Amino acid sequence: MSVQATSSSPSERIATLEMRGIVKRFPGVTALKGVDFDVHAGEIHALLGENGAGKSTLMKILYGLYQQSEGQVLINGAPVHIGSPHESTKRGIGMIHQHFMLVPSLTVAENVALGMPSGRGGVLDLKKISEDISQLSQKYNLRIYPERPVWQLSVGEQQRVEIIRALYRGAALLILDEPTAVLTPQESDDLFIVLKQMAAEGHSIIFISHKLHEVLAISDRITVLRDGARVNTIPAAGATRLTLAEMMVGRPVVLEYELPPPVRGEARLTVQGVSALSERGDMGLKEVSFTLYGGEIVGVAGVSGNGQHELAEVVAGMRPLAGGTIHVGDQPAGGKSPAALRQLGVSYIPEERMIDGVVKNFTVAENFVLKDQSDPPYALGRFFLRPRKIAEACRQIIHDYEVKTPGTDTPIKNLSGGNIQKVVLARELAQQPTLLIAAQPTRGVDIGATEYIHHRLLEERAKGTAILLISEDLDEVMALSDRIIVMYEGRAVGEVLRRDYDVRTIGAMMAGAGRGD
Amino acid sequence: MNIFETIGSIVTASVFASTLRLATPYLFAAIGETFAQRSGLLNLGVDGIMLMGAFTGFYAVYATGSLLLGVLTALVVGGLMGLAIAFISVTLRAKQGISGIGLYLFGLGLSELLFQRLIGTPKSIERFPDIYIPVLSDIEFLGIGQIFFRQNLLVYIAFASVPIAAYVLRRTSYGLKIRAVGQNPAAADAMDVNVARIRYSTQIFGGMMAGLAGASLSVALLGVFQQNLTGGLGFIAVALVYFGRWRPVGVMIGALLFSFVNALQLQVGALGFDVPPEFSTMAPYVITIIALAFAGRQTEKPTALTVPFQRGE
C-alpha cells in the first residue's frame, strides 16, 4: 500500500495545503494567534522564527500531535481533520523531527518497517522492505545500507533514514524541523539538493529554520512568525538576511560584528597534548594542544560529537584528564576541581545549562550566588546566608543584564532559555575571570539575547579576558573568534586565522578532509 | 574412589534429566519477563505471580482433578496479575521497582492465606505424567532418551517456547514493535505504534507465563503446595533475563546453568556428601552477580527499561 502511494504522484495527493486562522491556546498562554499558512506542490516554504515564536506548535498541529483551538486545515481546498500522526501520515504528510525518531538497536530496514503493515500475517518481510529502500535511495541519491543498525550510522546518515522512511510511507508533503542543525555545511548542501529534487517531483516541503542564509538559499517563499503571529509571507527572491532578522526580532539587529584587532596579552591557557575519555568510554579527545592569550577569542568548531564537548569539560575541570598537561597562566591546572580553577580566575558557561549551569528548581537569586554563596557579602561567617544582600545583588544584575523575570525569587526554570543564560553569564562574569570557557553560549537562545550575549563576550575580550568559545554554530564562531580551531574525531585538525575564514574550507575540515593551512 | 569416579557417580543422566525438569519454571517465568523487559517494563513481582499461579493451579487440580483446568487457572490468574502491574506501571506510571516488590508481597501473602483457608494441611495431587516419546525415549546412548524424551508435557512446552519467543521477537512485526517500544518509545509512537497497548500486552503475557511457571512447580514438578513454595525462584528468573542479555536463547542457557546447579545439589544431598546445602543454593546468585558485572556492550538492552512513556516529554 505504502509503496503504491509512493509511486502515485505526490502533487495529486497534496496540490495545496492551507492552514487558516490557526489559534492554539495552552493553559495560560496563547501560543498561536490566528496564523495563516499555505504551501503548494513543488514548493519549498521556509518557516522562520525565534524559539517560542510558534513554528513547532504550528507544525505539530499540521502533523496531528496537537489539536488547534480554532482555525481550519484544508488539503486541496477541502477541510480536513487531523487528529493524530496516524491520520496525517495517511493523508501524505511526513515529518522529520529535530531529534530523530529512530530506534538505535534496530536496522535501517527495521526502522522503516516499524508500524507499517508488512509481509504475510505478522511476519516481517525485511527483504522486500530492503529492496524498496534501495530503490528510493537510488532515486534520490540518498546512500544508505538497509541492513546496518542505526547506532552505527552518522547523524547525516540517520537523517537520510528519516527522509527515506517518510518517502516510503508515501509522504507528499514533508516537514523538516531544523534539519541542518546537526549537519556539516557539505552535508547541508547535499540535503538541499535532495530537497530540491523532491520539490521538482511535486512534493511540498516545509523547512523550519532559524539560519537565515539557509532559508534564503533553499526556499521559494518564507513565512516569518513572531510571538505566535504571522509577521509576513514573502518570496525568497529579494529578501536579505537583515530584513528577515528584523522581521523575526521586530527591531533592527546587528548580525556582523566589527572586531578590533586583538590586543594580545599573556598566555592564559596552555593546553598540551590533552586527551580525555568520552561518555562512551573511548578516547573522545586526542592529544589536543593550543595556547590561548588574553584579549582574544579562540573559537572551536566542529560537528557535534567530535571532541569539543570533552575539551570544554576537561579544561573546566568537569572531566578527568587522561593525558597531557593544562596550565592556566603559569599554574598547572590539569585535574584541578572547578572550585580550584575558579581561584585561578577561570569561569565556565556550560553546554547543558539546565544540568550543569543552574539548579532548575532554585530561584533566580539562589542560582546567581551559587558559587559565592559562602563568601561575603552573601554569607555571614561562611555559614549563614544573607538573603537581603543576595536579593540586592541579584536585582542589580537583573537590571544590568536586562533579564526578564517576575522577580528574584522566581524559580529559574520558569524563565526562557535566553534569560536563564543571561543569569549564568552574569554569575560567571561577576567572578572577574581572566579565562572564560563558553560552551554553546547561545544554543536555544533567541536572537535578541544572543546579540546581547555576543556583545558581552566582546566586551570581555576588550577587557583582556581570554575566551575559549566552543560552538556548533559555525556562523557564531566565525563572527566572534580571532582564530578557529577545527576539531574532527577528537583531534584538532586545523587552525584558521580570521583573515582566512571561509565556510567551505572550514566545513571541509569539519568533515575530516585533512589539515587546512 | 578417585576423583573421576566421584564425579561420575554424581553427574549422572538422571542429574541432566532433572536439570531440564527444574529449568521449566525458570524458563516460563524468564521468557515472559523477557518480553516485558524488551518492551521497557521491569516486573520484580514475578515471584508473587508465580506463587499465586502455583496455588490456584494446585487448588484447581485438587478440587476438580483436571490438570488442564489447573494450568488454565494459573494462566488466567497470572494474566490478571500481569494486567494489574501493567495498569500500575503503564497507566499510573509508578516506580516499577517498588510496585513490583509490592506485587511480590501481595502474592506471597495471599497465596498463603488462601492455602490456609482452603486447604490447611499439605496435600498432594496427581502430577503431570511423564510422556515417553516413542522410539526417541529408548535411546540409550549417553542417556539421551532418559534426559530429553521422558519428561512431562510442561517441560516440552517450556523448551519449545524458547525458539518461538526468539522468532516472534526477531521476525514478526509484533516483535519489532516490542523492541522499538523498549528502546525508544517516542520513536515508536511517532511511527504510529501504540506504546501503551504493546506494553500492556507484554506484561499480561509475562504474567501468564509467570502463572504457568508457578503451576509447573506445584502441578508438574512437585505435586504439592506449601507456604512460599517458590523460595525466591521468581527473582532468579528476573536476573536470568539480564544474564541472558534479553535474548530467549541466552535466558535458556542461564536457566539450564541454574537448574543444573540445583540438580547437582539434590544429587549430592541424596548421595550423603557432607556439603552444606547453602553453598549450592548461593552459587546461582554468585554466578548472576559475576555475569552482570562483566556484561559488555548490550545492544539488545532495552534502554527505556523502567522509564514510563508520555507523549511530548
What is d(CA A378, CA A392) in angstroms, rounded to the nearest whole number?
Answer: 10
DSSP for A389-439, written as a single string: HHHHHHHHHHHHTT---S-TTSBGGGS-HHHHHHHHHHHHHTT--SEEEEE
Q: Which domain holds residue B200?
A: 3-132+146-298
Residue A3 has pLDDT above 60, yes or no: no
Tell me the residue type at B131.
I
Give residue-wise pLDDT tens across range A33-56.
999 999 999 999 999 988 778 898
- DSSP-assigned beta bridge partners for residue A204: A173
Flag whether the pTM goes above 0.80. no
What is d(CA A32, CA A54) in angstroms, rounded to the nearest whole number?
Answer: 6
What is d(CA A380, CA B242) in angstroms, rounded to the nearest whole number?
Answer: 53
Give the DSSP H or E segment for B271. helix B248-271
In a 3-state reduction of DSSP, which class is residue A183? coil
Assigned domain for B285 exists: yes
What is the CATH classification number for the domain harbouring B94? 1.10.3470
Assigned domain for B109 exists: yes
Number of domains in chain B: 1
What is d(CA B76, CA B57) in angstroms, rounded to the nearest whole number?
Answer: 10
Give residue-wise pLDDT tens across range B111-132.
999 999 998 888 888 888 888 8
Smallest Cα–Cα separation from A326: which of A315, A337, A316? Answer: A315
A295: left (phi over 0), alpha (psi -120 to 50) or beta: left
Assigned domain for B190 exists: yes
In a 3-state reduction of DSSP, which class is residue A290? strand
Residue B20 has pLDDT above 70, yes or no: yes
* Complex ipTM more than 0.90, yes or no: no
Long-range contacts of A120-125 (CB under 8 A, 24+ apart): A122/B172, A122/B173, A122/B174, A123/B171, A123/B172, A123/B173, A124/B171, A124/B172, A124/B173, A124/B176
Interface touch A122/B176, C-beta < 8 Å: no
**Residue A464: predicted pLDDT:** 93
Residues of chain A contacting B179 with CB distance shorter than 8 Å: 103, 105-106, 110
**Residue A220: predicted pLDDT:** 96
**Residue A2: predicted pLDDT:** 43
Domains along chain A with CATH numbers: 1-92+203-253 (3.40.50.300), 267-345+433-510 (3.40.50.300)
Assigned domain for B140 exists: no
Handedness of CA B96, B99, B101, B106 (dihedral sign): negative
Residue A495 has pLDDT above 70, yes or no: yes
DSSP for B49-67, written as a single string: HHHHHHHHHHHHHHHH--H
The answer to whether the CB of A33 falls within 8 A of the CB of A56 is no
Q: How many beta-carbon pairs below 8 A join chains A and B?
A: 71
Give residue-wise pLDDT tens across range B60-97.
999 999 999 999 999 999 999 999 999 999 999 988 88
The answer to whether the CB of A484 falls within 8 A of the CB of A296 is no
Residues of chain A contacting B173 with CB distance shorter than 8 Å: 113, 116-119, 122-124
The answer to whether the CB of A144 falls within 8 A of the CB of A137 is yes
Assigned domain for B309 exists: no
**Phi first, then psi: what are they for A262, rounded to 5°?**
-65, 140
Interface touch A119/B311, C-beta < 8 Å: no
* Residue with grid cell 543552574, as numbered in its chain: A358
What is d(CA A47, CA A223) in angstroms, rounded to the nearest whole number?
Answer: 5
Residues of chain B contacting A65 with CB distance shorter than 8 Å: 311-312
DSSP state of A176: E
Q: Name the residue of chain B whose CA is nearest to A118's CA.
A: B173
Residues of chain B contacting A110 with CB distance shorter than 8 Å: 176, 179
When mean pLDDT is compared over A265-274, A443-452, B256-265, the highest value belongs to A265-274
**Phi first, then psi: what are they for A23, rounded to 5°?**
-120, 135
**Residue A497: predicted pLDDT:** 93
What is d(CA A97, CA A120) in angstroms, rounded to the nearest whole number?
Answer: 31
Closest in A97, A106, A123 to B180, CB measured: A106
Torsion angle (degrees, nearest 10) of CA B146, B149, B150, B156? 140
Closest in A105, A117, A119 to B299, CB measured: A105
Give residue-wise pLDDT tens across range A83-96.
888 889 889 999 99
Of A2-11, A217-226, B98-107, B204-213, the poorest mean pLDDT is in A2-11
* Residue with grid cell 520558569, as numbered in its chain: A414
Give the DSSP H or E segment for B31. helix B13-38
In a 3-state reduction of DSSP, which class is residue A180? coil
Q: In sequence order, what E strands does A278-415 have?
A: 283-293, 297-301, 323-328, 331-332, 346-349, 379-380, 384-385
Give first-to-last CA distance, chain A, whole Å: 54
Assigned domain for B307 exists: no
Give residue-wise pLDDT tens across range B4-16.
777 777 777 788 9
In a 3-state reduction of DSSP, which class is residue B41? coil
Tell me the residue type at B90.
V
- DSSP-assigned beta bridge partners for residue A314: none
Q: In sequence order, what E strands does A302-365 have?
A: 323-328, 331-332, 346-349
Of A36-50, A338-352, A477-491, B128-142, the poorest mean pLDDT is in B128-142
